[in-house]
Amino acid sequence: MPVSSEDYAFVSQHLAQYCWTVDEIDGDGWAALFTPDGVFAGALPEDIAGNEALRQVPVNAGMGIPEMRHFITNLTCEYAGRPDKITARYYTCITSWQGAGQFYALALATADLVRGGDGWLIKRSNNVMLPRMPA
């Protein structure tokens, strides 16, 4: 079932903050987008769970991908069986703007969000990293 315009706008803004905070290496800001037991899965060798561990994801990513920038496209949102849970599906394009800039990776992403506080929080972010084409 499609979400309300208000919920869609909130999720879109939330995911934009997800990109900005990871790119600006703001671990506290990025972890605050998740529930306390939130999970970031699929993009790294092991799933990352809980706010304390999630705080390190932007720091570690920033060391691995210099001057990274994330872009989310083709966002679709549906209530997941009840009005306090949303499943968002989207593509995440990851680039590096070091030097002339280059494509880094593309992920098929799904985020499960739950209503919390003043809006929505990510309960689980699942990412399927697509293979890169040979240069």
Residue 135 included in any domain: no
Residue 86 included in any domain: yes
What is the per-residue pLDDT for 128?
95
Alpha-helical segments (H) within 24-118:
27-31, 51-54, 56-64
Residue 20 included in any domain: yes
Residue 134 included in any domain: no
Decide the pairing of beta strands 85-96 and 102-116.
antiparallel
Q: Which two tokens stand for residue 113?
A: 């969000």
Per-residue pLDDT tens for 1-15? 789 999 999 999 999
Residue 119 included in any domain: yes
Q: How many domains does the chain have?
A: 1
In this model, does residue 23 exceed pLDDT 60?
yes
Residue 100 included in any domain: yes
Integer Cα distance of 62 and 80 in angstroms:
33
What is the CATH number for 105?
3.10.450.50
In this model, does residue 135 exceed pLDDT 60?
no
Per-residue pLDDT tens for 67-92? 899 999 999 999 999 999 999 999 99
Single-letter residue type at 70:
H
86: containing domain: 5-129
5-23 vs 56-64: helix crossing angle, rounded to 10 = 60
Residue 35 included in any domain: yes
In this model, does residue 29 exceed pLDDT 80?
yes
